[in-house]
Amino acid sequence: MSLFNLKNKSILITGSSRGIGKAIARHSALHGAKVIISSRKIDACNETASEINNEIGEEVAFPIACNISDQEQLQNLVTTTIDLLGGIDTLVCNAATNTHMGSMLDMTGEQFDKVMNNNIKSTQTLCNLCIPHMRDKNDGSIIIISSIAAIKGSSILGAYNISKAADVMIVKNIAAEFGHYNIRANSIAPGLIKTDFAKGLWENPDILKSVLTTTPMRRIGEADEIAGVAVMLASKAGSYINGETIVVDGGTTIA
């Protein structure tokens, strides 16, 4: 049996109607998992779930709308997932917000609070909602999609960088506190990936040129390349990886 087999695994993925989250959901399903497709708009969730189900040939993807800034909706997301799938083996916190691109001096307090609330508080809340269930099973994997923004300063993504750095510490804290329950928590730190979320960066010729110049592979990444790491962390292949941040950036941060 493959180390990457996810048969009979239940995976909850936020922000999974498109981009990196969608790629993680699709590849998890292709490896045998049942997946929850979640984002703010139910129509988008339904569309992605249908795409995956049609590709697999059976119902393995289930849509649940959730605004991660709403605590009640987060609770409903977890409760409904457990009711539908019988449990949560892996939580993937992918949904995130960036309200401002530019100098920190020009960022309003409201914009800053929204980034911190959506990217840190909601992630910690969702982890806290899932951990008791995983603790009772004595098994579980938590994956937070961070960014190389967590380890690299930026003149235009200040608050987003701060929030992504917090993701790194959230997984370390979870790993330290709950590792003896066989709960693994890790983050993935992508470089520039060709998604709608990052379009403001890779569609900007100056930014793209700067990234490509400092990236040894001379290209930006694809969502599927992040999904592969997530599948590893959710499967037996990643069963002894805990509290780590795996950088997937084509070498940008080492150049």
Integer CA distances (angstroms), 4 to 88, 146, 177, 213, 216, in order: 17, 22, 26, 34, 28
Which neighbouring-strand residues pair with 142?
91, 185
Going by C-alpha positions, the residue among 157, 138, 147 that lies closest to residue 201 is 157
Going by C-alpha positions, the residue among 187, 199, 224 that lies closest to residue 22 is 224
| Distance between CA atoms of residues 248 and 110, nearest Å | 31
Is 136 within 8 Å of 88 (Cβ atoms)? no
| Distance between CA atoms of residues 81 and 10, nearest Å | 9
CA 99 from centroid of its chain's CA atoms: 18
According to DSSP, the β-strands at 34-38 and 61-63 are: parallel
Catalytic residue among 160, 164, 197, 246: 160
Is 26 within 8 Å of 34 (Cβ atoms)? no
Going by C-alpha positions, the residue among 241, 179, 168 that lies closest to residue 3 is 241
- Residue 181 designated active-site: no
Q: Which residues are catalytic?
A: 160
